[in-house]
């Protein structure tokens, strides 16, 4: 992957994680406050403890990715992947225990595919290794 394309993908990931951060802040506010002046973003099928895990995992991942990218923190890729692991676990529980729609398995598969693709990009791209100050062996 060329350096220009890799930087464009990184810019897209910054936008994605900024959107995730806004979404998670909205969901956390709903969880903590109950009534909010916007259309709720939380799934009403999920109990409060499930929503807490959901929003905390998204908050952690988005904040780590955004701050890590801004500061070029070398541990951004593994710290982000740890967040994706937490989000994947939450997704598994939500999908198997609470969701009932026919597309839930496809949605979970697509979410997992996105985590895998981003992980491969963060660790596999030489441009990303250079950006985060990581050699091929770290």
Of 32, 44, 38, 34, the residue nearest 94 (C-alpha): 44
- CA–CA separation, 99 vs 135, rounded Å? 42
- Provide the pLDDT for residue 134: 75
Q: How confident is the model over 7-33, as pLDDT tens digits?
A: 999 999 999 999 999 999 999 999 999
Q: Domain range spanning residue 43?
A: 3-131
Q: What is the pLDDT of residues 38-77, one digit of tens each?
A: 999 999 999 999 999 999 999 999 999 999 999 999 999 9
What digits encode the pLDDT tens for the residues 86-134?
Answer: 999 999 999 999 999 999 999 999 999 999 999 999 999 999 999 999 7
On whether residue 99 sits in a domain, the answer given is: yes
Residue 20 lies in a domain: yes
Residue 101 lies in a domain: yes
For residue 103, is it within any domain?
yes
Reading phi first (left if > 0) and then psi (alpha if -120 to 50, else beta), residue 62 is in alpha
Asked if residue 91 belongs to a domain, the reply is yes
Assigned domain for 138 exists? no
In a domain, 136, yes or no: no
Number of compact structural domains in the chain: 1
Query: What token pair was written down for 56?
Result: 């905390």
Where do we find the tokens 């949605």?
107
Q: How far apart are CA 47 and CA 60, in angstroms?
A: 20
Report the sign of the C-alpha dihedral through residues 129, 133, 137, 138, in that order: negative
Residue 138 has pLDDT above 90, yes or no: no
Structural domain includes residue 137: no
């Amino acid at each position: 992957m060329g350096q220009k394309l890799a930087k464009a993908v990184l810019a897209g990931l910054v936008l994605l994680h900024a959107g995730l951060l806004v979404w998670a802040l909205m969901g956390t506010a709903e969880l903590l406050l109950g009534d909010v002046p916007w259309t709720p973003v939380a799934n009403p099928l999920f109990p409060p403890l499930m929503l807490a895990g959901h929003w905390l995992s998204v908050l952690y991942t988005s904040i780590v990715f955004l701050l890590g990218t801004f500061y070029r923190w070398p541990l951004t890729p593994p710290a982000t992947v740890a967040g994706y692991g937490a989000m994947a676990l939450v997704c598994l529980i939500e999908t198997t225990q609470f969701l009932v729609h026919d597309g839930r398995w496809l949605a979970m598969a697509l979410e997992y595919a996105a985590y895998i693709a981003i992980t491969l990009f963060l660790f596999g791209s030489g441009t990303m290794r250079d950006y985060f100050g990581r050699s091929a062996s770290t």
